[in-house]
Every structure is written in structure tokens, then in C-alpha cells.
Structure 1
Amino acid sequence: MSDAVLYIVATPIGNLGDMTPRAVEVLQSVALIAAEDTRHSGRLMAHFNIKTPMISVHDHNERQRLQTILDKLSAGENIALISDAGTPLISDPGFYLVRGVRDAGFKAVPVPGCSAVITAMSAAGVPTDRFIFEGFLPAKRTGRQQQLALIKSEERTVIFYESTHRIIETLNDMVEVLGADRYVVMARELTKTFETIHGDKVSDLLVWMEQDHNQQKGEFVLIVQGVEPKKEEGFSAETLHVLETLLEELPVKQAAALAAKLTGEKKNALYQEALNRK
């Protein structure tokens, strides 16, 4: 088995200054670059004086290209996979290829860098400890609204990509399905000259964008803040343990009063709970 490697190389999403030195080094050193669009990526290669040969690997030929990639890896040739922009496989082609390479026993090595999802999240000012990335919403209104309905009660932050052709329609659907007051951040043209990051109630965000046609142009990331978590009814297991322990030694009223001091819970509620347990 050859020790050759398939490198998964992230490229800039706009600002060429975000290209990492490691990415340039890898792209210059491999025998072949598998690019989503060779003409598009050719401009990037020219900027960094990368003369490595390229072949196209996209949604329509990924399965056919796998054997070509495996043959070259078997011959000991390292290969790099890139997308048009950002990190390959993140709402881009490449999953089938990477799986096939790994299943054949070769290494798939990530060379990290830009990702529009993470770039937008870092500057959105919404909770980021738990989030879901949903890629692009369906193109048709019915499918789009059905997809939005599925995340209406989602407590985690939800991230979507959207195109300039559908951004206003999507925001209208969000108002209708998620409610006018849902907080949404629009991140547009990230790292580029006209980068915009604007958050507001989705109804106000929609009005703001409708009033400025320039804000409707470009590539979009939409970040939807999740709903407030529902507070659990009743008491925590720890509070109940304290109450039960005190009830073993004290009358109900005294046990409830002392439990309230120890846990910070309301005395009357604990008294009622104690009565229920007697």
C-alpha cells in the first residue's frame, strides 16, 4: 500500500490574504489538484504561482473520478482536493471521494482554513455552544417553509446558506413560519470588500434589506437564534434529595423551611412537595 495522501485543502472565501502558508505549500507540492471548477480555481493558482496540474471533481463526475484518484494514490502521488471557496465538503462536493479514498486504505489529511459557517458564527453575537448547519434551504417556497417549520422550536442556533436570488423570499418565509420577532443575523460577502453582518428581528431585517437593494447582492449566511429553552417543571434531583433527607428527621413544615434555605427554592412550593410525599 502506498503512503500517498489526499489533502483536503481549505481556500479563501473572498480575501486572498486568508490563504494559509501550509495550503500554498501543499498545493505546490502535490502531483495533482482536484478542483470543483478548474477555471475558477485557476485564478487562485495564478495568484500564488501554483503550477500544479488540475482536474475537475464536482457533483456530476465525483464517482467517475474516484478510480483516477485511487490509481494516482496507488502510484505514490499525493493529491489535493479543493472547492471553489472555503473548506471542501462543507455544503460542497467531495464526500463520496473522501470516503472512497479512506475505504481504500489511504489517508485523507485536512489542511484547515476558511469556512463561511464558522466565519459568520464568530461575529454574529448569538449563542455558539450548540448549533446546526442546514446548508441551503429548498428552492421552492413549499419545501422551504416545511424545512423552516422543522426548526421552529429548535433551541440551538441554526445556520443556512442562501443565494442572492432567494434571500428576500427566504426572509419572508422566516417571518411567516418562525415569527416576526425571531432574531436573525445576515452575513453577506464575508471577507470581501462589501462585507456586511447585520442582526435584528427578522421582520426588521427584511425591511432593512428591502430598502437597500445593494444588501440583496452576494453570498449569504443566515444565522437563526434558537428559542429560549423551556424551564423544567418541578425541582432538580438534588433539591428533592435534600427534601427527602430532611423529611426523614423533621416535620413537614420544618423540613420545607430548611430545604428552602439550603437550595434557594420557594418555601411554599417545597412545603406542597413535602405534603405530596408524605
Structure 2
Amino acid sequence: MRLKDKVVVVTGGASGIGRAISILFAREGATVAIGDLTEDVKEGGAPTRDLIEQAGGTARFHHCDVAKWDDVDALVTKTVAEFGRLDVIVNNAATLGSGTRLLETSEADWDHVMAVNAKGVFFGCKRAIQQFLTQPVVGDARGRIVNISSQHGMVCAPGKIAYGTGKAAAVYITRQVAVDYAEDHIICNAVAPGRILTGKPLGGPGSDSLDYSKARTPMPRLGRPGDVASAALFLASEEASYITGHNLMVDGGWMAY
């Protein structure tokens, strides 16, 4: 129960990694507000909110397009209005876009991917910090931010220039926020997944096969959503009280290879 009585917002929490984070955080005692475009689960199954409630947890779903400030503002505002505070935000929502190289990437696709992967993290961090600054320090923090970045924020994402650039922005935002607001007792970190099997197709030129990913990953399996969720849980908990500005790799050794 590492998040007992904590109030958490998870963007993109309906499917994939966000779904695993929402379910694990609820199991650890958190009240979870899921912000996503739909409750439909991309990989199939019951809605995330239903699974949490069936297990005895508390969850809410709010429609939220993270590329729109009004949506992000409403997500946090409604959560705080109902539960009294915000302890953690997980900025997980992301999009791959068309997954193309530079010359094949349209301005519209670039703008869409950056609006979700970069501006969405910017909006999530900004709205959370606005709320955190109104709250007293509990333990070592007024609030915690966990951004979901990617190994493709540090190395190229072949054939996916918009996606990789947006994830690099998430890494930088994490460090900047951590430094700018450390004296305010706000902790900001990121989790950088490697190849995670979520059931979501990669698509686009340069998309690697599972055989390539397995050969590229030193550990004898690829990642699962739960691997990322466990790392996010650690960074969201009081166990990570003296860690900020860190981008935690969850990649089976990919980046060390």
C-alpha cells in the first residue's frame, strides 16, 4: 500500500502502459483519475475503471485530450474538487502519429504528435504544479510528477522523427521542472520504456520486427506494461524521496548494449 490515500491522475490510462499504471496504483491504495480520449481498451478487455472498482478500488474516468489545456485543466480541477487534493500526476498519454521519416512527415502530422507527446506533458506538468503549490508539504513533497518518456528520447527512433522528438522533449521537460521546482518540494521524474509488448502496432517505415527487438535487448524477453508500472510506482512513492530529474530506463538493457 505504498500509495495509500493518495490521489493520482493518469493520462492515457485506458490502455497499454497507462492501464497497467492505473491498476497497479489503485492496488497500492491510490484513488485514480483516468484521463483519456475513450474508455475503450485498445488491446481488449473490460475498461480500466471497471477493473479497479471490481477489485475494491476507487477510480474515475474523465474525457481528456492532453493537447488541449481546457481538458487537462478540467481533469485536475474535477479530481481535486471531488477528492480534495492531487498527490501524483502520471503524464503517460502519447501518440506515434504516422511514423515516418523527415521528408515523408507532413506539417499536420508533426504538429499532432508534438501536441500530444510534448505539449501534453507540458500541460500536465503545468496544471499539476499549479495545484501542488496550493498544498502543504507532506513528508518530503507537495506533489510528484512521473512523465513517461522513451528510450527514443535518447537514441533515434528510425523512421519516426516526430515521435522521437516529442519523447526527447518529455525528457528535457522532466529535468527542467525538477530543477525549477525542487525548492518548492515538487519532485519530477520520468520512466523511459524500451520495447514494451502492449498489443499496439508500431507501424510506419523503420518499424522493427519482434525478432530485431529481441536480438537488440540483452535480457531474454521484451518488456511488459507491468514493468513500466512498477518503475512508475517507485518514483511516485515516498521511497523515491531524494530522486528528482531522473529518467529511469526500463528497457531490459537496450541502452547499455
* TM category, shorter: 0.3 to 0.5
The normalised TM-score by structure 1 is: 0.34
Q: Which has the higher contact order (CA 8 A, sep 6+)?
A: 2
Bigger Rg, which one: 1
